[in-house]
Amino acid sequence: MREVLTEASRRAIQYLEAVQTRPTVPSHRAIARLQELDIPFPEESSAPLDVLKELDEVGSPATVATAGGRYFGFVTGGSLPAAVGASVLAAAWDQNAVLEVCSPIASALEEVCRRWLLSALGLPSGVGVGFVTGATMANFAALAAARHAVLGAAGWDVEAAGLSGAPPVSVIVGDEVHVSVLKALSLLGFGRERVTRVPVDGAFGLWAAVAPTRRNLTAGIETADSWATDAHKWLNVPYDSGLVFVREAAHLRAAMSASAAYLLEGDRREPSHFVPEMSRRARGVEIWAGLRSLGRAGLADLVERTCRHATCFAEGLRAAGYQVLNQVDLNQVLVSFGDEDTTRRVIRRVQEEGTCWCGSTVWQGQPAMRISVSCWATTEPDVERSLATILGVAAAEGGR
Ligand SMILES: *Cc1c(COP(=O)(O)O)cnc(C)c1O
Nearest to 150 by CA among 164, 167, 130: 167
CATH of the domain at 245: 3.40.640.10
Give the integer Cα–Cα distance in Å for 277 and 258: 9
CA of 327 to the centre of ligand 1 (A): 21
> Is 76 a member of any domain?
no
- For residue 349, the CA-to-ligand 1 centroid distance in Å is 26
106 and 132 share one domain: yes
Q: How confident is the model at residue 265 (pLDDT cuts 50, 70, 90)?
A: low
171, 61: one domain: no
pLDDT at residue 262 above 70?
Answer: no
Quick check: CB of 136 below 6 Å from ligand 1? Answer: yes
Domain that holds residue 383: 290-396
Q: How far, in whole angstroms, is CA 343 from its chain's centroid?
A: 27
Domain boundary among 281, 307, 325: 281
What CATH code is carried by the domain that includes residue 330?
3.90.1150.170
The structure's pTM equals 0.96
Confidence band, pLDDT 50/70/90 cuts, at residue 260: low
* Angle between helices 135-153 and 249-256 in degrees, nearest 10: 100
| Ordered alpha helix ranges (H), 55-156 | 81-93, 104-121, 135-153
Which residue's CA is the closest to the ligand 1 atom numbered 10?
135
pLDDT (0 to 100) of residue 42 = 98
The closest-lying atom of ligand 1 relative to the alpha carbon of residue 242 is 7
**pLDDT level of residue 267 (50, 70, 90 thresholds):** confident
Ligand 1 pocket member 388 (CB < 6 A): no
Residue 135 near ligand 1, beta carbon < 6 Å: yes
Q: Is the CB of 325 under 6 A from ligand 1?
A: no
Give how many domains the chain has, as a whole number.
3
Mean pLDDT, range 262-285, rounded to an integer: 87
Separation between Cα atoms, residue 381 and residue 274, nearest integer Å: 42
Give the Å distance between the CA of 397 and the centre of ligand 1: 32
Nearest atom (ligand 1) to Cα of 232: 7
Q: Are residues 127 and 269 in the same domain?
A: yes
Q: What is the pLDDT of residues 319-335, one digit of tens each?
A: 999 999 999 999 999 99
Q: What pLDDT sits at residue 203? A: 76
Do 382 and 268 lie in a common domain? Answer: no
